[in-house]
């Protein structure tokens, strides 16, 4: 897995080690990102890992910037490996998703940080609305 050295280094820099549970979850995400906790559990179940361990490990990895977490609507979360920022538009009606260029949001994020003093964690944002196909149906 090509991301393992980088992510292992990130954890070690914070005083943590790469456990077998962390590695299994990273491998599952490397094989296909944007996964729900349930999807990740299905991919790592054969290791003997419990669902509770998956949730705790996801929380730990996201809290240490190894994973990005995004709200997919209705309280559903999706995880992916950290790396380059990217964002999504998600249709609330049909669920269609579209990636948007982070450069589109960079000026607004910079302005918010300058005006508020906050340092924003914006690696993975989701915006919800209606796609072009579903808009006529909303009237």
The tens digit of pLDDT for each residue in 100-128 reads: 888 888 899 899 999 999 987 776 777 88
Helix (H, G, I), strand (E, B) or coil at 2: coil
Q: pLDDT at residue 60 above 60?
A: yes
- What does the mean pLDDT of the chain come to? 85
Q: How far does the chain reach from its first CA to its final CA, in angstroms?
A: 48
Return the pLDDT at 47: 93
Helix (H, G, I), strand (E, B) or coil at 28: helix
Cβ–Cβ under 8 Å, residues 18 and 11: yes
| Predicted model pTM | 0.68
Return the pLDDT at 84: 65
Which domains are delineated in the chain? 4-81 (1.10.10.10), 86-138 (3.30.1490.190)
User: Helix %, strand %, coil % for the chain, to 5?
Assistant: 45, 20, 35
> What is the average pLDDT across 84-107?
82
> What is the average pLDDT across 29-44?
87
What dihedral angle (degrees, nearest 10) is formed by the CA atoms of 85, 17, 42, 28? 50
């Amino acid at each position: 897995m090509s991301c393992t050295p980088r992510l292992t280094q990130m954890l070690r820099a914070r005083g943590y080690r790469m456990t077998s549970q962390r590695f299994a979850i990273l491998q599952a995400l490397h094989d296909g990102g944007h996964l729900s906790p349930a999807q990740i559990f299905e991919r790592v179940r054969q290791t003997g890992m419990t669902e509770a361990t998956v949730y705790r490990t996801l929380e730990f990895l996201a809290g240490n910037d190894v994973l990005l977490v995004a709200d997919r609507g209705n309280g559903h979360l999706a995880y992916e490996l950290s790396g380059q920022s990217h964002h999504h538009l998600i249709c609330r009606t049909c669920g269609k998703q579209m990636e948007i260029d982070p450069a589109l949001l960079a000026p607004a994020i910079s302005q918010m940080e300058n005006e508020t003093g906050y340092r924003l964690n914006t690696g993975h944002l989701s915006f919800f609305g209606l796609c072009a196909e579903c808009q006529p149906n909303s009237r």
